A and B are shown apart, each in its own frame.
Chain A
Amino acid sequence: MFTRNPAGLAALLTFVLSAAMVFAQAPNLGKPVSPAEIAAWDINVLPDGSGLPPGSGTPADGARIYTAKCSACHGPEGKGGPSARLVGGEPVKNMSSEKTIAGFWPYSTTLFDYIRRAMPWQQPRSLTNEEVYALTAYILSQNQLIGERDAMNAQTLPKVRMPNRDGFIVRFPDRTP
């Protein structure tokens, strides 16, 4: 039938294509938004350092902020309290091992990202970028992953190589049971 009536086929194709276009049409109600408008929410930091803001902080600066804002939960020396240990810890061996920053975390940028989005627990998003850099520097320094005078900023932080960087097997999209 189609081969005997090319005009009919063309008409049918036109109908199918226009129907598909109508079906695929979305309301397009999203409003354009500028980088400036979303700047306060644009807080993801990636392992290559993209997303890190301007600013800088030293372990000494971080020590003061830590005592004031973090030590009540994480202990005076960062070795744990009601909340997790931030300093020290062994390499992991099995599922019961403690997942410490020095012993488990693969990327230093995660520290900045997580402090900035989630800490302090009672007042997240209250720290300045400078304070987040300083706290990041303090914790890395206490874990002897950087020197006591090393400032952390958008250039230096992504270069800090975490000890367990190669300790992972990427499961996705592996389907092995």
Chain B
Amino acid sequence: MNKTPSDRIKRELTDLQAVAGNGLLHRRALLRGGAALAGAMTGYTLLPSALGQQLTDDAWSRVPGSTVPDYGSRSRFEKDVVRTLSNPKGEPRTQHARTPHHLINGTFTPNGLHFVISHAGDPDIEPDKHRLVIHGLVKQPLVFTLDTLARYPMVSRMAFVECGGNSAPLFSPQPIQASVQALHGLVSCSEWTGVPLSTLLDEAGIDPKAKWLIAEGGDSPHLSRSVPLSKAMDDAMIALYQNGERIMPGNGYPMRLLLPGWEGNMNTKWVRRIQLTEGPGMTFYESRTYAAILPGGKAYQFYFMQEVKSFITHPSPGLAMKGPGFYEISGIAYSGYGRIAKVMVSADGGKSWAQAALQEPVHSKAFTRFRAPWRWDGGPAVLQSRAWDEAGYAQPTRTQLVAARGETAQVPPVTAFPSQHYNAIVSWSVERGGEVKHVYA
């Protein structure tokens, strides 16, 4: 007897068992059944007359389309997919633009949506006049132009860049009701292409006394950060391209220092000078801004690593559920220590967990998209994700992190966060009507 596709779906449905509480299914449901399986579980796409109307040719399919532009832009229907701005009039203070993680998908961030923090706006750098100087504890100080760098052997790699204060609104003693964009929008991921910094340092000739470098930007605050030479020689890059095109002005045009996995502020944008030194410079941003005060008053200095982290982007606050049935829980995970090894997802606030499917290939120090199939029964649920990296680190619970680092004294405005690393588990509560809220669980 020939089995029909619907027989196969019925059999798979029978086989499918929840692997964790509140309707979390085995991740193989995504691999085998796909959309048909999802439809079967919600029960309405297989009905013969569900559409209730006859399809006709729409207006756009009965006339030729528009002229193809020389530089493409997205559909006019996507105009609301934008970054949110903390300082839209460019007043004399820092500007933040946050990535809308709940409105995009995949593993890298489109250049126009990559997060930006500029402490005094984006400089309008003429690429032909930009210079990169390497000096200090080197045998021969050197200067490079963009043209000369273009002739060097290049490398491409995926890498996330995350602000040291991303997700810090979760240090609030009460969960702030805001979108994943407002809470976690200061991280993005791109394919970066450029020249390994080690090539240029070797060319200048490193003095054995050199243990650090101080990188400086060509922006008006001439932002400077100290970087251990060991990182510079490991995987640091003078990045020239972002997702295939020249770096966006807000991300450092025409060149930036890329330190995969390390605090965003150190990835010096518009980099114009690198001085090799014996010790760190104790610059403004490392000795003050990104030093993290601990309970009792001592502060971490040189908190460089962006540790293992994940959060669910779909569903998330602002993306309401549309009735019971099948959903794909999806989010991003990353670690400054290397590759993501595993992501577990819970629908019952951490009582039980199901292993999520990881989108291949899993790149080191880059976004990894995770997915878990879920049959929502329409009742209350608390969604969480927890990631492990290849170095063996696991995301802490919020209780663990807060015990070590403390909380803010009051509930701050969502944009007025302390510049402290937060990588604990994030919880979304799905209410009975389908609304998604930020909770601590």
- From known contacts A106-B287, A110-B284, infer whether A97 and B297 are also in contact, taking CB-CB under 8 Å: yes
Most buried by B among A94, A107, A170, A173: A94
- From known contacts A30-B144, A46-B277, A105-B287, infer whether A171 and B293 are also in contact, taking CB-CB under 8 Å: no
Which of chain B's residues 111-158 have a Cβ closer than 8 Å to chain A? Answer: 120, 133-135, 140-144, 148-149, 151-153
Contact, CB under 8 Å: B200 / A30: yes
Contact, CB under 8 Å: A168 / B291: yes
Contact, CB under 8 Å: A121 / B120: yes
Question: Shortest distance in angstroms between B244's beta carbon and chain A's nearest beta carbon?
Answer: 23
Let me know if A122 is at the binding interface, CB within 8 A: yes
Question: Shortest distance in angstroms between B7's beta carbon and chain A's nearest beta carbon?
Answer: 50
Contact, CB under 8 Å: B297 / A113: no
Q: In whole angstroms, how far apart are the Cα atoms of A175 and B305 in the complex?
A: 9
Let me know if B93 is at the binding interface, CB within 8 A: yes
Contact, CB under 8 Å: B142 / A30: yes
Q: Which of B221, B282, B293, B407 contacts A107, CB < 8 Å? A: B282
Contact, CB under 8 Å: A110 / B282: yes
Which chain A residue has the least Cβ–Cβ distance from B144? A30
Contact, CB under 8 Å: B222 / A117: yes
Which residues of chain A are near B142, meaning CB under 8 Å? 30-33
Contact, CB under 8 Å: B220 / A124: yes
Q: In whole angstroms, how far apart are the Cα atoms of A122 and B220 in the complex?
A: 9
Question: Shortest distance in angstroms between A160's beta carbon and chain B's nearest beta carbon?
Answer: 13
Contact, CB under 8 Å: B282 / A26: no
Contact, CB under 8 Å: A177 / B92: no
Q: Which of B93, B288, B293, B305 contacts A95, CB < 8 Å? A: B293
Which residues of chain B are near A38, meaning CB under 8 Å? 133, 135, 141, 143, 273
Most buried by B among A29, A73, A110, A173: A29
Which residues of chain A are near B54, meaning CB under 8 Å? none
Which of chain B's residues 361-406 have a Cβ closer than 8 Å to chain A? Answer: 391, 393, 396, 405-406
Most buried by A among B222, B272, B289, B406: B222
Question: When each residue 152-177 of chain A gets 1 if its CB lies under 8 Å from chain B and 0 otherwise, what string results?
Answer: 00000000000000011111110101
Question: Shortest distance in angstroms between B122's beta carbon and chain A's nearest beta carbon?
Answer: 15
Which residues of chain B are near A172, meaning CB under 8 Å? 228, 302-305
Let me know if B298 is at the binding interface, CB within 8 A: yes
Question: Shortest distance in angstroms between B84's beta carbon and chain A's nearest beta carbon?
Answer: 22
Question: Shortest distance in angstroms between A163's beta carbon and chain B's nearest beta carbon?
Answer: 12
- From known contacts A30-B134, A30-B200, infer whether A168 and B277 are also in contact, taking CB-CB under 8 Å: no
Contact, CB under 8 Å: B300 / A105: no
Let me know if A35 is at the binding interface, CB within 8 A: yes
Q: In whole angstroms, how far apart are the Cα atoms of A28 and B200 in the complex?
A: 8
Q: Which of A26, A83, A94 contacts B409, CB < 8 Å? A: A94
Question: When each residue 1-12 of chain A gets 1 if its CB lies under 8 Å from chain B and 0 otherwise, what string results?
Answer: 000000000000
Let me know if B202 is at the binding interface, CB within 8 A: yes
Contact, CB under 8 Å: B152 / A27: yes
Which of chain B's residues 178-214 have a Cβ closer than 8 Å to chain A? Answer: 199-200, 202-204, 214
Contact, CB under 8 Å: B148 / A118: no
Question: Shortest distance in angstroms between B115's beta carbon and chain A's nearest beta carbon?
Answer: 22
Which of chain A's residues 36-92 have a Cβ closer than 8 Å to chain B? Answer: 37-38, 41-48, 73, 82-83, 91-92
Contact, CB under 8 Å: A26 / B288: no
Which residues of chain A are near B224, meaning CB under 8 Å? 44, 113, 117
Which of chain B's residues 260-306 have a Cβ closer than 8 Å to chain A? Answer: 272-273, 275, 277, 279, 281-284, 287-289, 291-305
- From known contacts A32-B141, A41-B133, infer whether A96 and B410 are also in contact, taking CB-CB under 8 Å: yes
Contact, CB under 8 Å: B307 / A177: yes
- From known contacts A38-B133, A110-B287, infer whether A46 and B281 are also in contact, taking CB-CB under 8 Å: yes
Which chain A residue has the least Cβ–Cβ distance from B202? A26
Let me know if B216 is at the binding interface, CB within 8 A: yes
Which residues of chain A are near B396, meaning CB under 8 Å? 177
Let me know if B418 is at the binding interface, CB within 8 A: yes
Q: In whole angstroms, how far apart are the Cα atoms of A91 and B293 in the complex?
A: 11
Q: Which of B120, B144, B275, B277 contacts A29, CB < 8 Å? A: B144
Contact, CB under 8 Å: B221 / A124: yes
Question: Shortest distance in angstroms between A89's beta carbon and chain B's nearest beta carbon?
Answer: 12
Question: Shortest distance in angstroms between A157's beta carbon and chain B's nearest beta carbon?
Answer: 13
List 11 extra interface pairs beyond A41-B216, A169-B298, CB under 8 A: A29-B148, A30-B134, A42-B275, A44-B275, A73-B92, A93-B296, A94-B293, A94-B409, A95-B292, A95-B293, A96-B418
CB<8 Å pairs between A and B, sample of 10: A30-B142, A94-B294, A95-B407, A97-B293, A99-B289, A105-B287, A117-B224, A118-B284, A121-B92, A169-B299
Q: Which residues of A contact B (CB under 8 A)?
A: 26-35, 37-38, 41-48, 73, 82-83, 91-97, 99, 104-107, 109-110, 113-114, 117-118, 121-122, 124-125, 167-173, 175, 177
Top 9 A-B pairs, shortest CB-CB distance: A30-B142, A118-B221, A29-B148, A117-B222, A172-B302, A96-B409, A168-B301, A114-B284, A33-B143
